[in-house]
Amino acid sequence: MTNQDVFQIISTTRAMRRLKPDPLPDDMIVTILEAAVCAPNSGNRQGWRFLVVKDPLIKSAVQRIYKRAYDAVAAPMYNAATTPPGVTPEKYARQHAAVEYLTDHFDEAPVWIVACLDEGTVGDDPVKTTVSRFAGASIYPAVQNMLLAARALGLGATLTTRHLIYEAEANAALGLPPGVYSYAILPIGYPIGNFGPVARAALSEIVFGDRYGETWAALNNDNR
C-alpha cells in the first residue's frame, strides 16, 4: 500500500448509512477488529471491549430505542440545523434522508460492532465515573481504525452514538455487564451507493497559528 492509498481511503471514508442486509464473512469482521486493537489507548491498558451483534432480537430491541431517540432529539436537531460548512443544502438534505433511512433500517445491518470500555467495578457496583475527555481517547481511535478498515475492505459503516440518549436502556438491551459502557455502535454491511469524498470546511476556516483566531501563515495562499 502506498501513501496515496492511505490518504485515498481516509478522504473517502464517509458515513455509509444505507447498507445491504446481506451476510458478511466473519473473517472480514475479524480483520476490522484486528485493526481496532492497533489503535492508541491510555497507558496501553486496553480496556476496550467489542461486542459483535448479529442476533436479530437484540438488534430489534436496540433499534426501537434508537428510533425513539431520533424522534425525540435527532429529528428536531436536523430540522432546526443550518447547513454545515463545506456542504450544499442539497447534500445536507441527502444526509438527513440517509439518517432517516438508517433509523428505520438500523437493525437490518448484518453486523454491528459495539465499541465499549470496561471501566471496572468496586465490589458489586460499577465504578461511578463522569464521562470525560479522557475516556474517549481509549476507544474512539479504535473506532476510527475500524471505519478505515471497513472502507479498505469495501464495506460501508458509520459511527453512531444516538443510543446513548437512552444509555441505560440500550446497555441493558445489549446485555452489558456492570462497569462496561458502550461508546459507539458501528453498523457494517455492503454499501448501497458509492464511496466518495467527504465534504468539510476549508482548513483556513478552522486552523490557527500560535494564537486561537489568528491565521496560520502556511494557509494564506492556499485554497485548502
Residue 76 in any domain: the answer is yes
Which grid cell is 159?
459511527
Q: How far apart are CA 185 and CA 169, in angstroms?
A: 14
Give the lowest-confidence range in 141-145, 148-152, 204-208: 204-208
In a domain? residue 224 = no
208 found inside a domain: yes
How many domains, in total, are found in the chain?
1
Q: What is the pLDDT of residue 133?
A: 58
Q: Which domain holds residue 16?
A: 3-219
Residue 223 has what pLDDT?
58
Look over the chain and give the mean of its residue pLDDT values, rounded to a whole number: 90
**CA pseudo-torsion sign 47, 10, 97, 189:** negative
pLDDT tens, 184-210?
A: 999 999 999 899 888 898 999 999 999
Q: What is the pLDDT of residues 63-108, one digit of tens each?
A: 999 999 999 999 898 888 899 888 888 888 888 898 999 999 999 9
Output the domain CATH number for residue 189: 3.40.109.10
Q: Which residue has the cell 431517540?
A: 69
For 194, how many CA atoms within 13 A lie in the half-sphere containing its CB?
Answer: 2
Instruction: Identify the DSSP state of 81.
Output: P
CA 194 to centroid of chain Cα atoms: 18
What pLDDT does residue 124 have?
Answer: 55
**pTM metric for this prediction:** 0.90
Tell me: the pLDDT tens digits for 24-67? Answer: 999 999 999 999 999 999 899 999 999 999 999 999 999 999 99
| pLDDT of 130 | 46
Q: In the numeric block, which cell numbers belong to residue 99?
A: 439518517
